[in-house]
Amino acid sequence: MILVTIKVNKFKCGYCGACVGVCPAGALELVETWIEVDDNCTSCGICAKICPLGAIEVSR
């Protein structure tokens, strides 16, 4: 099995929700002060591209 997902650095994240707004798969959720990623993530990387703080890494 290939693990396809993203990694949100919670120490960098400003929990602004921009990543949630651009996720085409609806795989992200802003819960209080952290981002949750579910199985629908396709690792497309759009969230990492637009994150104002560069807090998201795509790992393949």
Q: Where are the alpha helices (DSSP H) in the chain?
A: 18-22, 46-50
Q: Which of residues 5, 30, 41, 58 is near another protein by CB under 8 A?
A: 30
Beta carbons of 24 and 44 less than 8 angstroms apart: yes
- φ, ψ of residue 49 in degrees (nearest 5): -65, -40
Q: Per CB under 8 A, does 36 bind another protein?
A: no
- Looking at the Cβ atoms of 2 and 39, the one nearer to another protein is 39
Q: Per CB under 8 A, does 15 bind another protein?
A: yes
Chain residues binding another protein by CB under 8 A are 14-18, 20-24, 26, 28-32, 46, 48-54
